Structure 1
Amino acid sequence: MSKLDYKLLEALSAVIKDQSFERAAGTLCITQSAVSQRIKALEQQLAQPVLIRSQPIKTTKLGKQLLRHYYQVVQLEADLMPQVMPDTPESPLTLHIATNADSLATWLIPAIAPIIKQHLIEVNLLIADETHTVDMLRDGQAFGAIGSQNTPVKGCQLTELGELDYILVASPEFIERYFSEGINKHSLRQAPGIAFDHKDNMHIRFVHEHFGLSEGDYPLHAVRSSEAFVAMAKHGAAYCLIAELQIQEELAKGELVHIFKQAKITESLYWHHWVLLKGIYKKISNAIISHGRQVLGTPNV
């Protein structure tokens, strides 16, 4: 019976993480040709492809399964080695976490910072819309994901964190320019808004539900940063649908104004993670659950 060669899986992981065979070679301290040979050997052993050589480079369904397995083996090894070889110099352990931008901008860093300061770890934060972060867990790119999906991924565990309220805001300058006669279908056709990216349908959903406008009926910036949402709104360049938690200070100072108090969007957030967690992985997971529930309003049980 054939067994998996973990050097081959390590090469697969490096190519996906670095998005380049050349950079993966540098990470692994081998030649680019050797990386290609390891990927080829893995595909020959399994008689099917593990990579989709596109831009960005992606894994096949089998490749995703292999990466999930490899990352869990790395986790178990990292937890075991200090016990069996206590004198071995500690090397950084990379933890891949998928998160929505709003959690990153508000509460995630304070949740994990104490653990990062205590241990030699590297955190790779993968940012996507909250409806798509779990795809990164499913694909093997992350060991855990903060997202809005309320059903568990196969082989993973789900914990409710709480809720984020999203409200529509703009600066006084913007309101004077575009909404002096109120916010309505006509004024929205002229006023630029902001979405996270082309996969972010929260803004589009909100405007369609309350004003009957479809995507393309009004100008919409694409900005992949929650902080930039706030900056653009404060500078009068756009209005936006943003997590109320993130702009409490701006609302208090009058730099941003809640422009449609009749409605908001409440998004429930969940922490999805591997079922078997040990060591640093478990500490990070527990910190995310504890702090997330404290900030988002779900009691720890």
Structure 2
Amino acid sequence: MLDARKGEALLAVIDSGSFEQAAVRLHLTASAVSQRVSAMESELGMPLIIRSKPCRATAAGQRLVQYLRRARLLEDEFIADSGENAARPLSVALAVNNDTLATWVLPGLADFLIREYILLDIMLDDQDHTYTLLAQGLALAGVSSHAEPLRGCEVQTLGVMRYRLLASPAFARTWFPDGLQREAARVAPLMVFDRKDTLQSDFLLRELGLPPGSYPCHYMPASDAFANAVRLGLGYGMIPEQQYANDVEEGKLVDLAPDKPTDVMLYWHSWRVQSPKLERLSAQVVAAARAVLLQ
């Protein structure tokens, strides 16, 4: 049987990134934390942590972290639902992409989270990379563009988030007076979320033959700020339909490629064996997504 204190030490190191920070969290010395993790590694006969900066879990460590998080969730849920601890909230770590967080997931979950007294520990990343957070055991469930399930997990299709290449009317008149043209796109400022974001670069390569690095870019790693920057005329970029709402119909934004939307299929990843509350949370996420995303 795994020692709970050693497992707690392992999680603290992975979550904080160092033995020193883990010691602060656990009110121990760094040496004591290191001893607990080393003892667990000796007992299991395998390394669990890559002692780098920050510390990272090995492949075996990632599998163990996944198990420990699920075990902690089950324990916390049992305690929270017991009579004398009914007021204790349950915290759930979810991995989602920024556009999902900025649009449909919170409105779709708010009433459920309030009713069930669940706290969210949101981990943000690009939809192509949230899968890694799940694989590393940092999140218990999440939204991803990957359809392949992790071992022990199941995947449910959420639907399509449709993006359109938008600009303010003034920006379109200045930079694309003759429409979206290759030479104009070489000099027009492009909005990019961050350096993991390939929505815009994939589109420009596919439609105009422009490789990454051949046009000027703003980097704006916040969904609301990104959309606002497009509305202010700083650049043009991909915005999901759920975010721009009626702005195109009302003339506040211009669709530069009306016949060429970019569709991103999203999937919900969760463990096959879940706690009751996480099962209900998964059902709520799937229902909320299917109510607003393209099917």
Does the 8 Å CA contact 2:175/2:188 hold for their aligned counterparts?
Answer: yes
Q: Of 29, 36, 39, which aligns to 1:38? A: 36
SS at structure 1 position matched to 2:34: helix
1:171 maps to 2:174? no
Alignment map for 1:6-155 (pairs within 5 Å): 6-81=4-79, 85-88=82-85, 90-155=87-152
SS at structure 1 position matched to 2:284: helix
Task: Give the aligned residue type for 1:274.
Answer: W
Aligned length: 295
Taking the aligned partners of 2:179 and 2:86, their CA distance within structure 1 comes to 64
CA root-mean-square deviation? 2.0
Taking the aligned partners of 1:212 and 1:99, their CA distance within structure 2 comes to 31
Does the 8 Å CA contact 1:129/1:196 hold for their aligned counterparts?
Answer: no
Match of 2:264 in 1: 267
Q: What TM-score does the superposition give when structure 2 sets the normalisation length?
A: 0.92
Does the 8 Å CA contact 1:148/1:267 hold for their aligned counterparts?
Answer: yes
Taking the aligned partners of 1:79 and 1:149, their CA distance within structure 2 comes to 29
The list of structure 1 runs, each at least 4 consecutive aligned residues, that deviate by more than 6 angstroms after superposition, is none
Q: Structure 1 residue 154: deviation in Å?
A: 1.5
Provide closer, same or farther for how the CA distance between residues 11 and 69 of structure 1 changes in structure 2, counting only shifts above 3 A. same
Match of 1:233 in 2: 230
SS at structure 2 position matched to 1:250: coil
Question: In percent, how many aligned pairs have the same letter?
Answer: 34
SS at structure 1 position matched to 2:92: strand
Taking the aligned partners of 2:80 and 2:208, their CA distance within structure 1 comes to 59
Task: Give the aligned residue type for 1:136.
Answer: L
Q: Structure 1 residue 82: deviation in Å?
A: 5.1
Provide closer, same or farther for how the CA distance between residues 34 and 119 of structure 1 changes in structure 2, counting only shifts above 3 A. farther
Provide closer, same or farther for how the CA distance between residues 106 and 254 of structure 1 changes in structure 2, counting only shifts above 3 A. same
Match of 1:290 in 2: 287
Q: Of 190, 193, 197, which aligns to 1:193? A: 190
Write out per-residue CA displacement over residues 19-46 of structure 1, whole angstroms, 9 at most, x where no aligned residue.
3434433332333333233223223333
Q: Of 149, 163, 177, which aligns to 1:180? A: 177
Does the 8 Å CA contact 2:80/2:90 hold for their aligned counterparts?
Answer: no
Task: Give the aligned residue type for 2:142.
Answer: A
Tell me, which stretches of 5 or more residues in structure 2 are unaligned?
none
Tell me, which stretches of 5 or more residues in structure 1 are unaligned?
none
Taking the aligned partners of 1:233 and 1:257, their CA distance within structure 2 comes to 10
Provide closer, same or farther for how the CA distance between residues 160 and 178 of structure 1 changes in structure 2, counting only shifts above 3 A. same
Taking the aligned partners of 1:266 and 1:173, their CA distance within structure 2 comes to 26
Q: Structure 1 residue 186: deviation in Å?
A: 0.6
Does the 8 Å CA contact 1:194/1:229 hold for their aligned counterparts?
Answer: yes
Task: Give the aligned residue type for 1:175.
Answer: A
